[in-house]
Structure 1
């Protein structure tokens, strides 16, 4: 029987970890073949206590999420496939099973999983809209990987913080193919999650395939408590390793050119493969998306300017 290890990294995530692990435990995948691993980083709240109600495999490791993930996925995991999640993520019920089915059938070494940002307010809905354009592109990042492939490429590069997901994708592409688990109708999914209550939404998400009438496996990311300042601070922090990542692969690399090129990041990814229709049909969300992209881009350029050596 194929075995899957799901690794969740945490630090003071008591408000989220219960929902995340409950969604993993609720998968329609044989329980004896599903391993839940939590790798904490010195939480001072009830994160670990809550995690232990779902699994005995709770560990401490640091200093960053890449080291936590590598520890859980390489040193602890016993699965044929390893999946990594953040504590504020929730899986719909069929994700793990369908990932395994596709990986086995297609022979991919890893899969991207469509990620739906939660929240009914304006900016969470804008983030949900923006994220819908990235599935399966060079802006996306894998979530489930054949363990032998993850080990073969050495896991995450712990010297990078931010672009380590992109770096992992590039290493995996060197030894195999990466697939996309599923595609979905944005308007239908957007309408469903926009009407969820702020509390008590877990069943609506774990049971998404049945309750929504849309038989699509999805990963939900809880960004409902959006705060512009925190969002920009997080984005700025994760651009800190950008130059090291670019130097590792060089600016001539086609993926790098897209990931850090203004033309692709501001226009190409939103219009290719007919996506421009979605862009044009949601002008309000498109405006908010470009507002956020402009702020993030301006902060990135400002940081590069500050770090540039003086003449």
Structure 2
């Protein structure tokens, strides 16, 4: 049985880390073949203490998540496959097993895993709707990778903060294809997560396939406590490396198709939401669509404002 190393990066995540690690421990994959690594970045809360309840492999590393991930995935991990998660993510029970099966038999070097944003309020539901369009596109990012391939491309570019996932995907595609673990019925999943009771949510997500009746392995991302100002600050922070990322790849190909889609208004505002029949989902949820475009507009304005400031500097 191939070993899988799951690397979780943390910083003051005492509220979330327990549920994340519990979902890894609950995987229907042989425990002896599952290695859990937590790479912390100077937490001052109980994050590391909670993490040590699940694994002895708890380390300190900074300054950013790319360096944390590289440390865990390149220097510590012993698995044939490496997966990286944020502390506020929860895996449904079959994700690891199905990822290994897909990578072992599908010819891919890495996989995108469908990511479901949690939360019953309006903006979390809008974020869940928006995220559903990105699976398997250039807006997505691989979550599990063959270890030898990850090492061959040098891991994450630690000079980038924000687009490092996209950068990694582009490097991986130079050695092989990236697959999509699964596809799902948005309306069914949306209804399931929106109606979860406040108590017992982690268990309900781990047991998603059994309780929902949907045979679909998924990754759940907890954005229930959505704050618009914090969301926009985070998005602005992560656009800081955009110019470096764009220059890196357009220097090799001035008309790089991935860059054109990732940063071009035509694709980010329209193309990704209508291609491959996705326009049907867009039209069937006008309220969520309006909320999504409102957020996309704000993020776009902040991105352009940042570019303008950089041009004046």
TM-score w.r.t. length of structure 1: 0.99
**2:311 — aligned with what?**
308
Match of 1:202 in 2: 202
Distance in 2, matches of 1:199 and 1:243, equals 43
Structure 1 residue 84 corresponds to structure 2 residue 84: yes
Give the gaps of 5 or more residues in structure 1. Answer: none
In the TM superposition, residue 309 of structure 1 has moved relative to its aligned partner by 4.0
Question: d(CA) in 2 for partners of 1:278 and 1:190?
Answer: 12
Q: Does 1:74 align with 2:74?
A: yes
Distance in 1 between residues matched to 2:199 and 2:225, nearest whole Å: 12
Shift of 1:252: 1.4
What is the alpha-carbon root mean square deviation over aligned residues?
0.6
Separation in structure 2 between the aligned mates of residue 203 and residue 126 of structure 1, nearest angstrom: 24
Question: Which portions of structure 1, spanning 4 or more consecutive aligned residues, are displaced by more than 3 angstroms?
Answer: none
Give the secondary-structure state (helix, strand or coil) at the position aligned to 1:120.
coil
Residue 227 in structure 1 maps to residue 230 in structure 2 = no
SS in 1 for 2:179: strand
1:292 equivalent in alignment to 2:303? no
Counterpart-to-counterpart distance in 1, 2:224 and 2:312 = 40
CA distance in 1, matches of 2:135, 2:279: 15
SS in 2 for 1:110: strand
Matched, 1:276 2:282: no
Q: Distance in 2 between matches of 1:2 and 1:20?
A: 22
Matches within 5 A, 1:50-129: 50-129=50-129
- The separation in 2 between residues aligned to 1:71 and 1:239, in whole angstroms, is 24
Q: Deviations over 1:250-277 (max 9, x none)?
A: 1510000000000000000000000000
> What TM-score do the two structures reach when normalised by structure 2?
0.98
1:244 maps to: 244
State the partner residue of 1:164: 164
Deviation string 1:72-123 (CA, Å, 9 cap, x unpaired) is 0000000000000000000000000000000001121000000000000000
Q: Cα distance, 1:202 vs. partner?
A: 1.1
Q: After TM superposition, give the deviation of residue 200 of structure 1 in Å.
A: 2.1
